[in-house]
Amino acid sequence: MKYLILFISSFFIAPLAEEAHEFHVSKCLVEYKAENAELQISMNIFIDDLELALESRGVQKLFIGTEKEQEDANAFIEKYIDQVFQIEIDGSGIVDPIFLGKEVSDDLTSIWCYMQIPMPQPLQSLKVKNSILLETFDDQKNITSIVGPENKKDSFMSIRGDDVKEVSY
Amino acid sequence: MSIDLRPEALFLGQKRDTLGDIFSIYFNIGFSHIYDMAAIDHILFLVALCALFTVKDWRKLLVLITAFTLGHSITLALAILDIIPINARLVELLIPITILLTAIYNGYTLWKDKWQSRGKSRTQYLMALGFGWIHGMGFSNYLRSTLFPEEKLLGQLFAFNIGIEVGQIIILAKILLLTFIFTQLLKIKRNHWAFTLSGLAFAVSLYLIIDQL
Count how many domains chain B has: 1
- Please report the pLDDT score of residue B149 as a whole number: 72
Tell me, yes or no, whether B117 lies in a domain: yes
- Please report the pLDDT score of residue B112 as a whole number: 78
- Please report the pLDDT score of residue B165 as a whole number: 92
Range of the domain at B35: 17-212
Tell me, yes or no, whether B10 lies in a domain: no
The residue among B139, B146, B208, B212 with the most chain A CBs within 10 A of its CB, best to mutate, is B146
Contact A153/B at CB under 8 A: yes
Q: How confident is the model at residue A3 (pLDDT cuts 50, 70, 90)?
A: low
Count how many domains chain A has: 1
Say which of B92, B146, B208 has its CB closest to residue A17: B208
Structural contact between residues A126 and A88, judged by C-beta atoms closer than 8 angstroms: yes
Tell me, yes or no, whether A113 lies in a domain: yes
Range of the domain at A113: 24-168
Tell me, yes or no, whether A42 lies in a domain: yes
Instruction: Provide the total of helices (H) and of strands (E) in chain A, helices listed first.
Output: 3, 10
pLDDT tens-digit profile of A10-50? Answer: 666 666 665 555 789 999 999 999 999 999 999 999 999 99
Tell me, yes or no, whether A47 lies in a domain: yes
- Please report the pLDDT score of residue B120 as a whole number: 56
Low-confidence ranges of chain B (pLDDT < 70): 1-20, 113-120, 150-151
* CA separation for the pair A28, B207 (Å, rounded): 35
pLDDT tens-digit profile of A62-97? Answer: 999 888 999 899 999 999 999 999 999 998 889 999
ipTM over 0.90: no
Tell me, yes or no, whether B5 lies in a domain: no
For helices A2-13 and B190-212, what crossing angle results, to 10°? 30
pLDDT tens-digit profile of A132-156? Answer: 999 999 889 999 999 999 888 888 9
Tell me, yes or no, whether B8 lies in a domain: no
Q: Which residues of B touch A27 (CB under 8 A)?
A: 145-148
Helix (H) or strand (E) holding A113: strand A110-118
For chain B, what's the residue count? Answer: 213
Q: Which residues of A touch B11 (CB under 8 A)?
A: none
Tell me, yes or no, whether B129 lies in a domain: yes
- Please report the pLDDT score of residue B116 as a whole number: 57
